[in-house]
Chain A
């Protein structure tokens, strides 16, 4: 048996009761749990509020900064002026303020909001897929879900069903179907005897991406040149601000998906143990998988139909957030969502301000940030992936 000295050298236990020599451990009072036995080792509601609250405040502040930047700089004073006149309905005679108001409210605000929303969704889908596939490299872009959705949208555009039906765009639905097909194919290809080896998931994604890209290229090449140019710009990932009604419809759609995902946070935690342990803990894994697949395809499809293929957010953000705040999905999901929103909002501001007057597709910026990070994970953090 291990001598008691072995215990005194071990790091201080996180239990509230002091370390006792092994001979007297039986006489220690029963652990009741009221002494907060896992101080610092588990998530508490207080810590949750602190993390989510501070990230929300940060998001608001950065949104204010992003609204100021653009082709024309709008100072904080003007910003407040425009918003207060818009909110409280004070008419202004100032023509300059009117122009600024149009720029802010009709161009920048919807765009910044769309960027935030898309980032939130991509990061949340990334969190869910990583937990479900037990794979820290999973991401809707890497797994081919985005290109599946893009293919769905491209086919819809080609056959002209991209127009609205009863004022409701069918493009997100086509994107959803494409994304769902992609997810199911990747899952079927990679699953071997109840297990999902990390590398076969990635390989399946690579193959699917190649096939879908070829099909998208084909569709683009047989289109009329002026339409195919718009298609290319959309594919590279750009946040062109839609009108407010469309933006509102998208927000409702995305918030519903996020709500369903948030209901699964504890299940996501346990799914990370593996499917069989999760089932032995009383979780209906098949149902959980269905919900997560459907919601992921739903969110990705909607996002892709609006903003094209913006890659790697779903992979970088959850990974980075997990490194800082830990793996518990109860806080990882909301925190990643907020950080993802902030990241895309800022990246898009960079995309539209760095090369004024022209604009870079934001997908290029996220890919340039995400690609090297992916390589870093694959090469230097192999031990974490095994």
Chain B
């Protein structure tokens, strides 16, 4: 145990107003494309996607480039609205949730999102407190941090192991440190759902492992629901409770890693022959690339 996650604050009272026993997300028949409705049916980025995310689980979204993974995550974060279908968050329709309510419940970490200017790490993490801070009419937009904000931010930074970087400029950090700062920013929101787009893309092995273990622990101990978009099938297999595999904008298969990750499925979705054997520790499927690519079959 390296990270003191036991003290990580969970969602505030407002977020707990959701009824228990609901799925974190229910997505029904969601179709989405950028811009207005597409001319042809084949132009949908996501076509008729139905899935659910259970409360407190880690769900992995995998699939080849352009299969709509990031778009699906944006739908979940309400950064994009589907043209057809409905999404609900803990039993409430996403359309009915206000911006602030949404931001207090769901935190989103995009693929690359460093601030453009030399904010300190502490300032960046404290930005996550924005949806929790009261702003009076006369505060002229200032709104100083109160102890609760600082506590949540300090906790999030301890969880992500960046407390020692508090006064460093974000622009001076390494890629991995910056990514951890951005995840800490999301944790400072004290969300019930954490949405991550390729969180381990810029990280070295040690920090990949640590971030995944922290997410696992937050999910197990605090009931944090996590949705991860990842290219790394092995990380998804080891750390996700369930995996959704997308192919060309629709759900190809959904289930536990052992159910989803099979040689046949990967051949059908990625068009590529891979080797799959059980992981020596966990027995979960482990995907290995062959030495020689088998030519695409058209």
Contact = CB atoms under 8 A, between A and B. Distances in A.
Do they bind each other? yes
Interface of A: 1-2, 7, 10-15, 19, 22, 25-26, 28, 30-34, 36-38, 40-45, 130-131, 134-136, 262-267, 269-270, 272-274, 276-277, 279-284, 322, 326-328, 330, 384
A259 to B, nearest CB: 8
Given A26-B1, A26-B6, A33-B151, A280 B167 contact: no
19 contacts: A1-B2, A14-B164, A19-B164, A22-B2, A31-B151, A38-B126, A38-B167, A43-B123, A265-B142, A266-B141, A269-B127, A274-B113, A276-B74, A276-B108, A276-B110, A280-B106, A281-B131, A283-B99, A326-B118
A11 B26 CA distance: 45
Contacts of A25: 4, 158
A277 B170 CA distance: 16
Interface residues of B, number: 59
B148 A33 contact: yes
Interface in B121-177: 121-124, 126-128, 130-131, 135, 140-155, 158, 163-164, 166-167, 171
B87 interface: no
Contact of B142 (A40, A277, A330): A330
A15 B163 contact: yes
Contacts of B143: 266
Given A2-B2, A26-B4, A281-B130, A266 B142 contact: yes
Contacts of B7: 30-31
B199 to A, nearest CB: 14
Contacts of A267: 141
Q: How would you classify the secondary structure of chain A's contact residues: helix, strand, loop or mixed?
A: loop
A273 B163 CA distance: 20
Contact of A327 (B99, B107, B115, B126): B115
Contacts, number: 160
A14 B167 CA distance: 7
Interface centre among A12, A274, A276, by most chain B C-beta atoms within 10 angstroms, is A276
A280 B130 contact: no
Contact of A273 (B103, B115, B154): B115
Given A31-B151, A284-B99, A12 B164 contact: yes
B120 A281 contact: no
Contacts of B140: 262-263, 265
A45 B142 CA distance: 10
Contact of A31 (B100, B120, B145, B155): B155
A134 B117 CA distance: 8
Contacts of B99: 279, 282-284
B10 interface: no
A33 B164 contact: no
Contacts of A263: 140-141
B145 A273 contact: no
A2 B205 CA distance: 12
A282 B123 contact: no
Contacts of B269: none
- 6 nearest A-B pairs in the assembled complex, by CB-CB distance: A282-B103, A33-B150, A33-B151, A14-B166, A134-B116, A33-B147
Contacts of B6: 26
B120 A136 contact: no
A277 B113 contact: yes
A20 to B, nearest CB: 10
Nearest to A331: B142
A282 B100 contact: yes
A265 to B, nearest CB: 5
Contact of A14 (B113, B118, B122): B122
Contacts of A33: 146-152, 154
Contacts of A2: 2, 206
A264 B123 contact: no
Nearest to B121: A41
B222 to A, nearest CB: 15
Nearest to A7: B164
Nearest to A319: B117
Given A25-B4, A38-B150, A384 B171 contact: yes
Contacts of A130: 116-117
A21 to B, nearest CB: 11
B117 A136 contact: yes
B71 to A, nearest CB: 12
Contacts of B254: none
B189 interface: yes
A25 B144 CA distance: 29
A11 B122 CA distance: 15
B149 A327 contact: no
A136 B116 contact: yes
Interface centre among A22, A28, A269, by most chain B C-beta atoms within 10 angstroms, is A269
A270 B130 contact: yes
Nearest to B213: A1
